[in-house]
Amino acid sequence: MEVTHNWSDEQWVKLLKNCYDAIPANGKVILVELVLPEGPDYAGVATQNALSKDLMMMCFTQGGKERTETEFEKLAMDAGFNDFKKAACAYNYWIMELRK
């Protein structure tokens, strides 16, 4: 849970490609991650928490950041996955499925 924000986009695609290569033909990878809203939505506590974590990642990691749904989907496709689906969401934490 919440490991993708530690890595740059390039590092994350490399990690996802390794996962892709390791799973069977119809396999999937399940992520549980904090997801930033696509547009400005500063009123909610969950969004403020996500934005604070994004700022922390910028300060404490080299290239790490919180990501939007669009960014997660792009990284999954760049790694070779054919399907991206959000299975559930609560307080900006999403369960996402990446399918081969």
> Which residues are known to be catalytic?
5
Both tokens of residue 69? 């749904």
Residue 98: what are its φ and ψ, rounded to 5°? -115, 120
